[in-house]
């Protein structure tokens, strides 16, 4: 496989250096770590996200106005170290506390929890919202064990808006938890990703096969089938979400059709066309739609679909403006 890299061991450091070289007017690197924060954060609750590299623009690209204030970056498909999370936390805390928002993976949970304990020793209060939106990764009864995928985008968007309203840490955490609880996703993989340090693919799949429900690190899905048409695939994916979250006629949702790395925007729009048609047939209103590649897994081909069910409170914060180099929402409402 061919990649535009130097030493495979330096891909994360050099990625962060390149980000700061591009956007250093508004962002800075936390000294001696792979942490990135915004400059001149207002004195309020801070929102910190993070996770392994290889999912760009998540997490680094979700740092911005009305979004996360900082991101702790780990190696490829590996959690950020507790020290990285702690240093980002210390840089951003202004006395009102810090909310951690990230996907539910054991390594991330372990290291963020360790950082929270270390932060407590520094008299910094933290709270955590785990995003576990992937309906394919555990049963509804065991939803707490589900991993996170593109639902991070909605959770971080809501968290950043709530923090910007100068709410308390408890309130920012409560509203962000509601966003996570109202969000469901499912993905499908058509081809594997690869890890730069090994030069190997993360799994094998035949050219005429797809795996429904596969995770962003190549975790097993729920079904491996022959390649389907975009309409068939979209309908099958939405069925998993509809079976998991109660959606009724006249409910409102936000839609995210997310590419996993090498899927073209043309394909994503074709999927979104069918999503819109199915939701319309069910009488479910689409409040807003985003079609982009936010939560990727290196060059994996595939797509995920995410729905966030809105209520008045979530809509209020979703309507707030947000801006980063890789995510933009104009304020509305």
Helix axes 265-281, 230-242, angle to 10 degrees: 50
Strands 126-131 and 98-103, how do they pair? parallel
Cβ atoms of residues 294 and 261 within 8 Å: no
Cα 299 to chain centroid distance, Å, stands at: 17
Residue 290: how many CB atoms within 10 A of its CB?
18
Cβ neighbours, 10 Å, residue 144: 9
Which member of 19, 44, 55, 162 is catalytic? 55
Angle, alpha carbons 213-265-218 (nearest 5°): 25
Is 217 a residue of the active site? Answer: yes
Alpha-carbon distance of 201 to 203, in angstroms, equals 6
Retrieve residue 135's tokens.
């309906």
DSSP 263-290: --HHHHHHHHHHHHHHHHHTT-EEEEEE
- Out of 44, 182, 217, 274, pick the active-site residue: 217
Which residues are the active-site residues? 55, 217
């Amino acid at each position: 496989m061919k990649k535009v890299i130097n030493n495979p061991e330096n891909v994360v450091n050099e990625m962060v250096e390149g980000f700061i070289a591009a956007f250093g007017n508004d962002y800075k690197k936390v000294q001696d770590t792979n942490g990135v924060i915004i400059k001149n954060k207002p004195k309020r609750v801070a929102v910190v996200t993070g996770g392994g590299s290889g999912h760009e623009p998540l997490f680094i690209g979700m740092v911005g106005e009305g979004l996360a204030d900082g991101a702790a970056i780990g190696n490829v498909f590996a959690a950020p170290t507790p020290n990285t999370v702690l240093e980002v936390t210390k840089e951003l805390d202004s006395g009102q506390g810090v909310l951690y928002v990230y996907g539910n993976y054991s390594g991330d949970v372990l290291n963020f929890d360790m950082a929270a304990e270390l932060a407590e020793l520094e008299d910094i209060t933290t709270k955590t919202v785990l995003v576990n939106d992937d309906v394919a990764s555990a049963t509804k009864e065991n939803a707490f064990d589900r991993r996170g995928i593109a639902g991070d985008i909605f959770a971080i968007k809501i968290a950043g808006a709530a923090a910007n309203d100068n709410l308390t840490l408890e309130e920012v955490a409560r509203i962000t938890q509601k966003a996570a609880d109202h969000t469901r996703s499912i993905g499908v993989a058509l081809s594997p990703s690869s890890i730069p340090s090994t030069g190997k693919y993360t799994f094998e799949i035949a050219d005429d096969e797809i795996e429904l429900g596969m995770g962003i690190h190549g975790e097993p899905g729920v079904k491996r089938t022959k390649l389907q048409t975009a309409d068939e695939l979209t309908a099958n994916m939405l069925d998993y979400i509809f079976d998991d979250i109660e959606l009724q006629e006249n409910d409102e949702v936000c839609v995210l059709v997310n590419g996993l790395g090498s899927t073209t925007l043309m394909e994503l729009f074709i999927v979104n066309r069918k999503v819109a048609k199915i939701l319309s047939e069910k009488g479910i209103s689409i409040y807003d739609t985003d079609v982009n590649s936010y939560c990727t897994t290196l060059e994996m081909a595939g797509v995920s679909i995410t729905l966030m069910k809105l209520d008045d409170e979530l809509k209020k914060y979703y309507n707030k403006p947000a801006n980063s180099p890789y995510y933009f929402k104009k304020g509305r409402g």
